[in-house]
Structure 1
Amino acid sequence: MGDYDERWVQELIHNAPSVLPITETEPAFSPLVPVCVELPLSTGYLDNLLVTPNGDLIIAECKLWRNVEARRAVVAQVIDYAKAMQRLSYDSLEAAIRSARREAGFRLYDHVIATLPEHTSTLDEAVFVDAVSRNLRRGRCLLAIVGDGITEGVEGLAEFLQQHAGLHFALVLIRLAVHDLPGHGTIVVPSVPLRTTNIVRGIVQMQDGQPTIVASVSAQRSQATVTPPVTLSEEEFFASLDGIRPGTSVRLINFLKSVEDLQVDWTIRKMMSIRMTVGGRRLPFFVLDSNGDTHTDYATDAKALMRSFIEAMIAAVTGTKLHETPKLTILKRLDDSWPTIWDVLDHEEGVRNALIELNRSMIAAEVDG
């Protein structure tokens, strides 16, 4: 990075948080709100703290390194910061931020609203405080190491993370390539050479008065089936479903893998969007919320395509009906509530048949179009 030092990187992140490509690894961690630099913790001074309106925590350590030993040391350092954060309450976090910013009256919620005024009407302070407090208590955060010497050869660092049980974190290494353009300022090009694929390394439980480490939800899923990388956003979403009905995440992932041949894929932000892609069209036929409700009203401008699918779903899932609006054909229960993911998973064969019908309709529409 030439003559640029770590303080310069800190200020860059604080003043232009979008330089961090966080959504590449954690789609729900947006928008980013920079909070402070040099946050005082029991283990040292954290370079950058950022939050989201959902109460997600992002801690960033800026390092211009030149050797593998320094890389391993900075990973250990940032994990120590995560552990120190886990020991904080919401009030003590605010106190530390006040010290870093040198603002006696600083309030984190007010800062988020001032930074993102468009969230004023939707962001409840009590909900925000509870979310931050919960994430502090669980050690749930995104660790970002930002530097210049990060290359694809750092995958071995992921193994080092396995030693740290009890923290719900993901690690992302971000490389910032800085280029001076004479007479035209500076260009910063970020990239992500590594992100961890497991979030919860282990969970400490007390059994007969003795602490034991058991496999995380992510690990249990990976033992049951081969799964895609699990992000913090996905972990939280699946944990919510499993909290309502244990084992749901395994059943859901297995089902989604069983219909991949029908061009079905999925993404998770605040909700899970389950889509079918044929040609140039991507149709979100199911959008699942964290309570398990399965919405079919996101497939806009696809009323005719969805009709045959919904009719096949009614044949597959008892107690459901077709509901039409001027623009949509949707699936509802007889009591007008949304079907649940358990309704779907309890009728997998029939739902697959419905997806086959949708796939045929989309292919036909692609050919005719």
Structure 2
Amino acid sequence: MGYDLVMATLPILIRGTSMGALQPLSLASKSSTNLDGYDERWLQDLIQSHPEVLPTAELEPGFGRLLPVSKEVACGHGYIDNLFVTAEGGIAIVETKLWRNLEARRLVVAQALDYAAALARMSYDEFERAALAGDMPGPKPVSLHSLIAESADALDEPAFIQAVSLNLKRGRMLVIAAGDGVRAEAEALADLLQSHAGARFTFALVAIELFKAEDGAVLAVPRAVAKTVLIERGVVRIADDRVVIEPPARGLTSGTAIRSSLTEDQFMEEMAKRDQRLPAAIRSFLDRIADFGVEPEWKASLNLKWIGGANGPVNFGYIRKDGGVATDMTSYKLGPLAMPYQQDLASMVRGKVVQRSENSYPFIAGADGRSSVKVEQLLPNHAEEWADAMDRLIKQVQRSEATE
């Protein structure tokens, strides 16, 4: 069955005073090639050379920049098309498929599950050997860490190995199926994948739509069509080459499934290292402040965004992965209105409200005026006081907006 890319509108290329509509470009399968040579392998090469074509920040805002490792990576269940890591030890795999028929769409979901499960069986040494044995340009690097060592946010090698090992052990990775178009049936298949208890990876369907200009230039337009969230209600285990789904360890989850993103999962793991009570305390706090419109925004940090303001969202503070709580963005948005809120928070931790210079914004700090306030100083013991302080600030903002 053939597949035609249907677009309600076409992108327009403007060069000075000339302009023209770009025409859709369809890819050929691996077994055939169109006249221009654009096929499935061409798409695989594009993704490997330019991983920024994937909307990673949209799929997992705190995941980090994808750094290419290799193509055609053997994992025991086949060959992964594209393998990436991040400077902080994140793992991402990409399968490039053309969405010509339903069978192809079924296949990519099955492969994604198989590949993720296969990687979860590997030790770090096995993963490194497989990654470095894949197809990559130039001489083989001496280690997997050497590929990320020059990145500004790179972990040192022991910490990187530990992070990758933990992600492998937990089957935690970003899995993307990328093609030149995704149909509704493929989205339904993603829902099917998500229904599997224990799916700890984020699975995303990405359409990379291609358009060709008259001079032969090609425009690649990525679009995230669908993604799953983590369902933390089971653990995937491999037994005799079969995927076995086991219930979670006692105490890890409540009676209902906890839905989260990979970004949230990793954030909560860092919080648990600080205090085992923190993940539950943070989730309880987020439930409490949702009552008056403050929602979590999961990025590199956890942002506490009030979305009910007439003048746009207000950040009531953000919690970094190192546990630090910052409130300078509250002052940035609200100016003097934020001061009582800042003072309330400072009094809870016996700290101070500090402003470094005329060009900076007030924020809460420790009693010495220099150290950052840590989230465990506020949660769980001051959760209700913090929520009440937010509620008072919201009401003050609303009164101020009503008089404008």
Q: Would you say same fold, with TM above 0.5?
A: yes
Q: Is the 8 A contact 1:47 1:60 kept in 2?
A: yes
Partner of 2:373, secondary structure, is: coil
Map 1:73-84; keep pairs closer than 5 Å.
73-84=107-118
**Is 2:247 the counterpart of 1:214?**
yes
Match of 1:346 in 2: 381
CA separation in 2, counterparts of 1:96 and 1:204? Answer: 22
1:45–1:139 CA distance, 2 compared to 1 (3 A): same
Match of 1:69 in 2: 103
Q: Is the 8 A contact 1:306 1:330 kept in 2?
A: no
Partner of 1:223, secondary structure, is: coil
Give 1 or 2: higher helix fraction.
Answer: 1
Match of 2:132 in 1: 98
**Is 2:221 the counterpart of 1:189?**
yes
Partner of 1:150, secondary structure, is: coil
CA separation in 1, counterparts of 2:191 and 2:311? Answer: 40
- Report Cα offsets for 1:198-221 as digits up to 9, x if no partner: 25451269xxxxx98224899946
Match of 1:208 in 2: none
Shift of 1:10: 0.5
CA separation in 1, counterparts of 2:120 and 2:245? Answer: 20
1:43–1:347 CA distance, 2 compared to 1 (3 A): same
Match of 1:357 in 2: 392
Aligned counterpart in structure 1 of residue 297 of structure 2, from 267, 273, 281: 267
Match of 1:284 in 2: 315
Partner of 1:187, secondary structure, is: strand
- Report Cα offsets for 1:37-95 as digits up to 9, x if no partner: 11122111110001111111110011113222321222111221112212223232232
Task: Report the more deviating stretch, 281-290 or 31-40.
Answer: 281-290
Amino acid corresponding to residue 123 of structure 1 in structure 2: L
Match of 1:148 in 2: 180
Q: How many residues align?
A: 355
RMSD across aligned positions (CA): 3.3
Match of 1:309 in 2: 341
CA separation in 2, counterparts of 1:175 and 1:218? Answer: 39
> What is the TM-score of this pair, normalised by structure 1?
0.82
Aligned counterpart in structure 2 of residue 135 of structure 1, from 167, 181, 194: 167
CA separation in 1, counterparts of 2:351 and 2:75? Answer: 56
Q: Is the 8 A contact 1:170 1:199 kept in 2?
A: no
Partner of 2:62, secondary structure, is: coil
Aligned counterpart in structure 2 of residue 295 of structure 1, from 297, 302, 326: 326
Q: Is the 8 A contact 1:305 1:362 kept in 2?
A: yes
Consecutive unaligned residues of structure 1, counting only runs of 5 or more, are 206-210
Q: Is the 8 A contact 1:218 1:230 kept in 2?
A: no
Q: Is the 8 A contact 1:200 1:217 kept in 2?
A: no
Identity %: 30
CA separation in 1, counterparts of 2:394 and 2:194? Answer: 42
Q: Is the 8 A contact 1:140 1:168 kept in 2?
A: yes
Aligned counterpart in structure 1 of residue 354 of structure 2, from 324, 327, 336: 324
Q: Is the 8 A contact 1:293 1:341 kept in 2?
A: no
Partner of 2:230, secondary structure, is: coil
Match of 2:12 in 1: none
1:157–1:219 CA distance, 2 compared to 1 (3 A): farther
Q: Is the 8 A contact 2:181 2:209 kept in 1?
A: no
Shift of 1:6: 1.3
